[in-house]
Amino acid sequence: MEMRLRLLDEPCTDRRLKDEYGIINRIDVIVCKNCGTLLCNMSQMISVSTEGNSAHYVNPGGYVHDLLTVSEVISTTARGPPSSECSWFPGYKWTIHECSHCGQHIGWRFTSSDLSPSSFFGLTRRSIRPADSRRPITSTVQRIEQLAII
């Protein structure tokens, strides 16, 4: 929040754009919005649909999910068995995934024995945020996981 206020307070447009460019260039990982646990690198984003690596999907209850698709994640726990019912990606089964640290719903793992890729993750944007991996991490578990993924 401090960074947002500083950017808004900057009277010079050129300096504001330069600061924003610097911020964007430092963002290299995706973390849980609730607790900050590292989930994946930005380099792991993939496209599995014609919309690219981000699209909106509606579940049977009418809830709209804005998904970001990535090849791998860490620090998540599967909940329940895979299901093909109402899959947003034909030929793929889905399994709910939650943050291993705080239990926040992060998204779904999609798996298929016949299609390529054989698996990927759809992360719901309401549960994730971009971050800078070079910023201090408070948890020992997060430090270990970060070293493993980078």
Alpha carbons 88 and 68: distance in angstroms, whole number: 13
CATH of region 2-149: 2.170.150.20
The answer to whether residues 110 and 57 touch, using CB atoms and an 8 Å cutoff, is no
**pLDDT, tens only, 28-54:** 899 999 999 999 999 999 988 777 677
Q: How confident is the model at residue 149 (pLDDT cuts 50, 70, 90)?
A: very low
Give the per-residue pLDDT at 49.
Answer: 77
69: pLDDT strictly greater than 90: yes
The answer to whether residues 143 and 37 touch, using CB atoms and an 8 Å cutoff, is no
Give the per-residue pLDDT at 23.
Answer: 62
Give the per-residue pLDDT at 82.
Answer: 97
**pLDDT, tens only, 95-128:** 999 999 999 999 999 999 999 999 999 999 999 9
Q: What are the sequence ranges of the domains in the chain?
A: 2-149
First to last CA, the chain: 26
* Average pLDDT along the chain: 84
Alpha carbons 98 and 113: distance in angstroms, whole number: 23
